[in-house]
Amino acid sequence: TANELLEEYAETGTLAALPLGHFIDGAFTRPAHNRTLESFDPGRGEAFARFTAGTAEDVDQAVRSAQKAFETVWRDMAPVERARILQKASQLILENLDLLAVTETLDSGKPLQEAMGDVRGAARTFEYYAGACDKLQGDSFPLGPNYIGYAIHEPVGVTAHIIPWNFPISTAARGFAPALAAGCTVVAKPAEQTPFTALLLAKILSEAGLPDGVCNVVTGTGAETGAPLTSHPQVDHITFTGSVQTGRTVMKAAAEDITRVVLELGGKSPVVVLADCDKEQALDGVIGAIYENAGQICSAGSRLVIEKSIHEEFLAELVVRVKALRLGHGLKQPDVGPVNSAEHLAKIAGFVDRAKARGAKVAVGGSITQDPATGKGWFFEPTIVDAVAADDELAQEEIFGPVLTVQVAEDADHALELANDCQYGLVAGIYTSDFAKAHRLARKIDAGQIYINEYFAGGIEVPFGGNKKSGFGREKGLEGLKSYCKTKSIAARI
């Protein structure tokens, strides 16, 4: 239970109670090689648990298990039976809310209240796709009186899921649930920084009645575990969520076998704030968009594109609010938690230090810091850099930390130009009280999703994915379900 974990953690600073081994064929299995890696608590910057370092043989065992389960039990199970298992899984995720959230916080560093939101979101994802299992309707075609023409959606087969460290259980759920609903089986590789909640989710699915081998999780590094999974000949579909650089490698691996791939990559999303907006609404939106999860969100609103006439007043108010944000260990439910690793902290600091050397106007923050209660952990101050040029790396590159870049626009047209002047196209936010203007901008911004007057609006019902270098393919919604299907058309002369 969560309390047992917290007690053990308080006494020893470690968690031996977390599962060791992969989850393959319905059980935790420890391979003979017995190689392990350490997982770190970012809030203290110290190792707290160990997990198995998978190999190509471990991956092969998991894929074979998934292939067998696909052919012998899951593909042909009645959709309503699949629905009942996924619905039960949703219920069990909520029953394990505290356990999953505490584990997620220790592993990723994110504030506990955010981890709880992620776990509730995972339960909702299973509920949504449970309801969709028996609604994967096909189509029929008017070929004339002497023909019957129809199309059906068949599951693609064994699906691989490569998961990043910033939303471990959310990303697992948004891949597993539609894949399972469609009749596919799963082999997942969580990030080496955050391996535990995907393992616990696989166990919960098993307890909900998922047959052995339908959902497998292999832990380990990208090179030793992720690469053999994405190049495994028996994998029929890859859902990759992570950086552009690794996405490129995964796409190349997929190209070898012509394997289907969905790429959910990075972002540098603009939040366009126009002079006629509701200021309170926009201030809340801008703060949440960049400081939630310490800015480590693919869809973070990391560029504030603000109309010149309100720039100074709005910035002054933002700075007041940023100074009031409380930093701390995730278990203490701070406003802003640590970032995920020492290497990542150095990368964030590098961006800001280089900007300072170029003479950047740092309006607030700008430095590495620690948990004020313990003097430990990997923290970066919530930061705003003002008046950044469109071609500056701060406006073009994904920092993936609590660093907001401000770009000043002459008017709405200029704001649109700045919003689109970026290699990424994941999300854009728009704050204005002119609804027609909002929708005109929404049509012209090149991004997979647009949020108007509320950042991160919309839930599992709404398709999600990137344009430009943010990737392609869509997850969530019914479109996410179709990603795991292949359409078969049948035409018959009668």
Catalytic center residues: 264
Does residue 54 belong to the site contacting ligand NAD (CB under 6 A)?
no
φ, ψ of residue 285 in degrees (nearest 5): -65, -45
Can residue 166 be called a binding residue for ligand NAD (CB under 6 A)? yes
Instruction: Report the residue from 21, 175, 463, 466 that binds ligand NAD according to the rule CB under 6 A.
Output: 466
Residue 306 or 450 with smaller CB distance to ligand NAD = 450
Cα separation, 177 vs 54, whole angstroms:
24
Residues 476, 132: Cα–Cα separation, whole Å: 12
- Which of 119, 162, 445, 485 binds ligand NAD (CB under 6 A)? It is 162
- Report the alpha-carbon distance of residue 58 to residue 18 in Å, rounded: 20
> For residue 278, what are its two tokens?
């509701």
Q: Does 226 bind ligand NAD (CB under 6 A)?
A: yes
Span of 44-52, 137-145, 262-270, 478-486 interacting with ligand NAD by CB under 6 A: 262-270
Return the range that interacts with ligand NAD (CB under 6 A); candidates 78-86, 198-206, 210-218, 239-247. Answer: 239-247
Q: Which one of the spans 82-90, 148-156, 220-228, 413-421 is the region binding ligand NAD (CB under 6 A)?
A: 220-228
Cβ–Cβ under 8 Å, residues 474 and 238: no
Helix or strand holding residue 395 (H, E): helix 393-396
Place of tokens 């166990």: 203
Count residues near ligand NAD (CB under 6 A). 32
Is 165 a binding residue for ligand NAD by CB under 6 A? The answer is yes
Q: Does 176 interact with ligand NAD (rule: CB under 6 A)?
A: no
Between the CA atoms of 280, 283, 284 and 289, what dihedral angle is there, to the nearest 10 degrees?
150
* Burial of 211: CB neighbours in 10 Å, binned 0-12, 13-18, 19+: middle
Q: Which of 164, 334, 473, 477 binds ligand NAD (CB under 6 A)?
A: 164
Closest approach, Cβ 445 to ligand NAD, in A, equals 17
Stretch that binds ligand NAD, among 13-21, 89-97, 240-248, 430-438 (CB under 6 A): 240-248
Q: Are 491 and 143 in contact (CB under 8 A)?
A: yes
Contact yes or no for 406/385 (Cβ under 8 A): yes
Our CB check for ligand NAD shows the closer of 227 and 283 to be 227
Residues 383 and 338: beta-carbon distance below 8 Å: no
Which three-class secondary structure state does DSSP give residue 305? strand
| Nearest residue (CB) to ligand NAD, 65 versus 249 | 249
Q: How far is CA 192 from the centre of its chain?
A: 15
**Does 215 engage in binding with ligand NAD (CB under 6 A)?**
no
Six-digit token string for 423? 């290699």
Q: Classify 492 as helix, strand or coil.
A: strand
Residue whose tokens read 């997850």: 475
**Closest to ligand NAD by CB, 123 or 250:** 250
Residue 264 interacts with ligand NAD (CB under 6 A): yes or no: yes
Only segment of 219-227, 367-375, 453-461, 476-484 that touches ligand NAD (CB under 6 A): 219-227
- Residue of 63, 73, 51, 397 whose CA lies nearest to 237: 63
Residue 192 binds ligand NAD, judged by CB under 6 A: yes
Task: Name the closest residue to ligand NAD (Cβ).
Answer: 222
Out of 93, 262, 265, 445, which residue is the one contacting ligand NAD (CB under 6 A)?
265
Binding track over 424-443 against ligand NAD, x by CB under 6 A: --x-----------------
Cα separation, 448 vs 470, in Å, equals: 9
Helix, strand or coil for residue 31?
Answer: coil
- The contact mask relative to ligand NAD for 379-408 (x = CB under 6 A, - = no) is -------------------x-x--------
Question: What phi and psi, each to the nearest 5 degrees, are found at residue 319?
Answer: -60, -40
Q: Which residues bind ligand NAD (CB under 6 A)?
A: 162-167, 189, 191-192, 221-223, 226-227, 230, 241-243, 246, 249-250, 264-267, 298, 398, 400, 426, 466, 470-471
